[in-house]
Amino acid sequence: MLFMVIGGNNQAFYMLPPEKMMEQAMLMDAWTRKHLESGKCKAIYVADGNKRYFSIWELASYEEGVQLSMAGPTWQYQDFEVIPVVDYDQSMKLAMSAVGK
Q: How does pLDDT run across 5-59, given as a tens digit for each residue?
A: 999 999 999 999 999 999 999 999 999 999 999 999 999 999 877 778 999 999 9
Sign (positive/negative) of CA torsion 88, 93, 96, 97? negative
The dihedrals phi and psi of 51, each to the nearest 5 degrees, come to -85, -25
Q: Which CATH superfamily is domain 2-98 in?
A: Dimeric alpha+beta barrel (3.30.70.1060)
**One-letter amino acid of 14:** Y
Euclidean distance between CA atoms 16 and 92, whole angstroms: 46
Pair 96, 79: CB distance under 8 Å = no
Picking from 66, 77, 80, the residue whose alpha carbon sits closest to that of residue 10 is: 77
pTM of the model: 0.80
pLDDT score of 18? 96
Q: Name the DSSP letter for residue 99.
A: T
Euclidean distance between CA atoms 97 and 18, whole angstroms: 54
